[in-house]
Structure 1
Amino acid sequence: MSERPDFDPSTLVIHSNRSYEMQSNSILFPIHQTATYIHESVGVTKGYGYSRGANPTVNALEQAIAAIENTATALCFRSGMSAIHTLCMAILKAGDHVILSDVIYGGTMRLFHQVLGNFGIEYSYVDTSSAGPAEAAIKPNTRLIFLESPANPTLKISDIRGVSEVAHKHENILVAVDNTFLTPLLQDCLALGADVSMLSTTKYIDGHNATIGGSLATNDEKLVERLRLVRKTIGSIQTPFDSWLALQGIKTLPARLDVHCSHAKQIAAWLEAHPRVAKVNYPGLDSFPQKALAASQQKDFGGMLSFELDASTEDSLRFMNALKLCTCAESLGSVETLATNPATASHCDLTREAREALGISDRLIRLSVGLEAPKDLIADFEQAFAVVFGSKA
């Protein structure tokens, strides 16, 4: 394990593992927008041969992410889904079995259902809010337990420590966690026992809706080399320009997360108190059934929440369409507050019955709370309520 410097997170993201360009002393690491590299002589390079395998700008982002993951290195990919796909291709073969959190991002479900399943990969959806169901679901051919906590879009919490403990009773089972909603600064899933931390760097790492990217971090050096080989072979490495932009975003990550968390708590409390809101899913609320578990493995409760109105699906969608300051968009983790309806977006591939069994009703609205002033967001909600319900709101 790499020893993280004894820096506050705000210092860590700016200075730890930071790479400099020595030729001009540029304070920003440059964009190495190149496909190939000159060999000093036959077979002799400066560590880079072809950008499908490695690139200095991508490596600079990898070292920045490794600093917050507290690992020797990290690997960056063209998207979060590309990172998950590469992980699966690196460790799985036909006939292997994967345990997935029952509530998980729709894209991850699609990867297994429509892609990996065609190659003989078996998978089961399991309630991972405690270790027992996961342990009962383990088969002789289980090779991976993939958790997402908090889960998209219900914020359901997986017991990362408990599931990791039962998984590691078996020699060949790895535990990976999609930690996109919190990042390592709010939830250190590797310290909780997981083997692999996965991030969609598109979200909070970038923070500005400017890039698509993903990362994997682990303390298993052999797994790192296997992932590096598969990434090079299938060409899933992050691009230099997107890496450079994400490098700028990560420097403000701690400051942004503080504001995201503070604003989300205020918005969640306001929504819960509103007579037209039937339910709010936010781990920081006392009404959230897993608040104790969340508090035991998270440093804060994050900037994501979801809620249902006491209204029809039609009126719920009208409410979303009436929002003016909040943006209707399918991403999260940016400076802008984003609202989406998972039933028509991230989880649209599921049947209504399957969605409702997971707590994803057609009325559910997922909110990524941004950096706007809470009073301005609340004013936007109030005017949207007035548009849909009039004076009765």
Structure 2
Amino acid sequence: MKNTAGFATRAIHHAYDPMSHEGALTPPLHLSSTFVFETADAGAEMFAGAREGHFYSRISNPTTDLLEQRIATLEGAEAGLALASGMGAISAALWTILSPGDELITDKTLYGCTFAFMRHGLAKWGVTITHVDMTDVQAVSAAVSDKTKVVYFETPANPNMRLVDIAGVSEIAHTVGAQVIVDNTYATPYLTQPITLGADLVLHSATKYLGGHGDVVAGLLVGRAEQIAEIRLVGMKDMTGSVMAPFNAMLILRGLKTLALRMERHCSTAHQVATWLEAQPVVSKVYYPGLESFAQQDIATRQMVKPGAMIAFEMTGGYAMGKALMDHLSLIMRAVSLGDAESLIQHPASMTHSTYTPQERAAHGISEGLVRLSIGLEDADDIIADLGQALVAIADKQAAPA
């Protein structure tokens, strides 16, 4: 299938010919851990990289290989790499690229485990971690130097929906020879392709929208073929061992087939819910790129096809009210992760970003009353009704005499 085919067509057909697999419509699952060489010379050539082929599933496998080709074409990249988790993708990439004495510049808002890895892993290894408000391109320009090896950010950022101008930051980073790594988990390649905007590497927690059904943990990475090959053999094979299982690759391949349809529904419902939330008296602020009140709507319009399905909002009662909302919902599930068919809600200060101290959360733009909502595939009216009854219950408790 040519790359000129549409997104959904490539997600379903790219790099697979049923007639090469006895007519099987669905790509076969290759559970073999090792592969037989035709001759000793053929094996030697594969180990030397002089011949294509699979010889051990810690390095490559036909099922994961198909997934890698699919995600690469959807992101507009040369090559892809399948890993055991999103954190596996992050750590394998950064361990490969960075050395002691290098500097990594990152946004002030990060997923909690990414923040912890940079602090507990990279910083202890001698890498300087510098946090910058990347919503301000000039702040990035002032921060980069000849020591800057990587510029890393999420857009939209987890959990508060801050956006980063991918093209603007990439241009600045490249002036000092730094590589730009973008976590595209929230947007997915259906909404944003950072490679086309100047990024060097793009990663995903494929656990989320790409899998889409809450039944797999996995990570994906795309970029230039030469660099992806290096990360495969160094960061993945030798340093982390963060290898995706073929069965998990099969589940993500299945998820990709419906990604376009699911994102359309996710986004449509999210816009309705965000608009409704904005009118609620116990909600002081809603962060959603599709709202006119969203401060960075201009960036969202430039680099996102649609505003996505993640919503963040502030409760007027701070930490206590943010937690209380969790316990008054019945349809929306209290759970971390996102991008599933089920709507999921969580309170970052007590859950995903509890690795930050309260002072760090304040410094990194994560308030105590912030709530993160992943809009699922349920009917919009049912999601709104569940939120409505929960907010009424909280308001009634707050108004009740002590």
Does TM, scored on the shorter chain, surpass 0.5? Answer: yes
Match of 2:49 in 1: none
Q: Is 2:376 aligned against 1:378?
A: no
Q: Which amino acid in structure 2 is aligned with residue 30 of structure 1?
A: P
> C-alpha offsets along residues 59-78 of structure 1, whole Å, 9 cap, x if unaligned?
11111111201223211100
CA deviation after TM superposition for structure 1 residue 49, in Å: 0.8
Q: Structure 1 pair 189/4, CA: closer, same or farther in 2 (3 Å)?
A: farther
Match of 2:233 in 1: 229
Unmatched segments (≥5 aa) in structure 1: none
What CA distance in whole angstroms lies between the structure 2 residues aligned with 1:20 and 1:347?
A: 45
CA deviation after TM superposition for structure 1 residue 244, in Å: 0.5
Match of 2:333 in 1: 327
Match of 2:212 in 1: 207
Task: Decide which moves more: 356-365 or 57-66.
Answer: 356-365
What CA distance in whole angstroms lies between the structure 1 residues aligned with 2:318 and 2:287?
A: 18
Task: Decide which moves more: 350-359 or 92-101.
Answer: 350-359
The correspondence for 1:195, drawn from 186, 200, 213, is: 200
Match of 1:50 in 2: 56
Match of 1:183 in 2: 188
Matched residues, number: 389
Q: Is 2:66 aligned against 1:60?
A: yes
> Contact (CA 8 Å) 2:318, 2:370: kept in 1 or not?
no
Match of 2:15 in 1: 17
Task: Decide which moves more: 155-164 or 18-27.
Answer: 18-27
Q: Is 2:250 aligned against 1:250?
A: no
Matched residue of 2:323: which SS? helix
Q: Which amino acid in structure 1 is aligned with residue 231 of structure 2?
A: L
Matched residue of 1:147: which SS? strand
Q: TM-score, normalised by structure 2?
A: 0.93
The correspondence for 1:88, drawn from 71, 89, 94, is: 94
Match of 2:29 in 1: 31
Q: Which amino acid in structure 2 is aligned with residue 17 of structure 1?
A: A
What CA distance in whole angstroms lies between the structure 2 residues aligned with 1:184 and 1:362?
A: 31
> Contact (CA 8 Å) 2:118, 2:129: kept in 1 or not?
yes
Match of 2:349 in 1: 343
> Contact (CA 8 Å) 2:286, 2:312: kept in 1 or not?
yes
1:15-164 equivalence runs, <5 A? 15-18=13-16, 20=18, 22-45=20-43, 47-164=53-170
What CA distance in whole angstroms lies between the structure 2 residues aligned with 1:210 and 1:20?
A: 26
CA deviation after TM superposition for structure 1 residue 7, in Å: 2.4
Q: Structure 1 pair 358/118, CA: closer, same or farther in 2 (3 Å)?
A: closer
Q: Structure 1 pair 43/328, CA: closer, same or farther in 2 (3 Å)?
A: farther
Matched residue of 1:100: which SS? strand
What CA distance in whole angstroms lies between the structure 1 residues aligned with 2:84 and 2:41?
A: 28
CA deviation after TM superposition for structure 1 residue 42, in Å: 1.3
What CA distance in whole angstroms lies between the structure 2 residues aligned with 1:386 and 1:104?
A: 32
Match of 1:216 in 2: 221
Structure 1 runs (4+) deviating above 6 angstroms are none
Match of 1:355 in 2: 361
> Contact (CA 8 Å) 1:78, 1:213: kept in 2 or not?
yes
The correspondence for 1:296, drawn from 299, 302, 313, is: 302
Match of 2:6 in 1: 8
What CA distance in whole angstroms lies between the structure 2 residues aligned with 1:291 and 1:124?
A: 26
> Contact (CA 8 Å) 2:98, 2:149: kept in 1 or not?
yes
Q: Structure 1 pair 137/380, CA: closer, same or farther in 2 (3 Å)?
A: same
CA deviation after TM superposition for structure 1 residue 154, in Å: 0.7
> C-alpha offsets along residues 112-144 of structure 1, whole Å, 9 cap, x if unaligned?
101111111111011111321112111321100
Q: Which amino acid in structure 2 is aligned with residue 44 of structure 1?
A: A
CA deviation after TM superposition for structure 1 residue 312, in Å: 4.3
Match of 1:274 in 2: 280
Q: Structure 1 pair 43/329, CA: closer, same or farther in 2 (3 Å)?
A: farther
Match of 2:370 in 1: 364
Q: Which amino acid in structure 2 is aligned with residue 232 of structure 1?
A: K
1:160-175 equivalence runs, <5 A? 160-171=166-177, 173-175=178-180
> C-alpha offsets along residues 153-172 of structure 1, whole Å, 9 cap, x if unaligned?
1100111111111111123x
CA deviation after TM superposition for structure 1 residue 4, in Å: 6.4
What CA distance in whole angstroms lies between the structure 2 residues aligned with 1:19 and 1:155?
A: 40
> Contact (CA 8 Å) 1:281, 1:305: kept in 2 or not?
yes
Identity %: 38
> C-alpha offsets along residues 85-110 of structure 1, whole Å, 9 cap, x if unaligned?
01111111111100011111111111
> Contact (CA 8 Å) 1:4, 1:67: kept in 2 or not?
no
> Contact (CA 8 Å) 2:154, 2:183: kept in 1 or not?
yes
How big is the alpha-carbon RMSD for the aligned residues of Structure 1 and Structure 2? 1.8
What CA distance in whole angstroms lies between the structure 2 residues aligned with 1:318 and 1:111?
A: 30
Q: Which amino acid in structure 1 is aligned with residue 35 of structure 2?
A: Y
Matched residue of 1:191: which SS? helix
> Contact (CA 8 Å) 1:17, 1:67: kept in 2 or not?
no
> Contact (CA 8 Å) 1:130, 1:163: kept in 2 or not?
no
Task: Decide which moves more: 302-311 or 245-254.
Answer: 302-311
> C-alpha offsets along residues 28-87 of structure 1, whole Å, 9 cap, x if unaligned?
112111211112221425711111111111111111111201223211100111101011
What CA distance in whole angstroms lies between the structure 2 residues aligned with 1:156 and 1:139?
A: 24
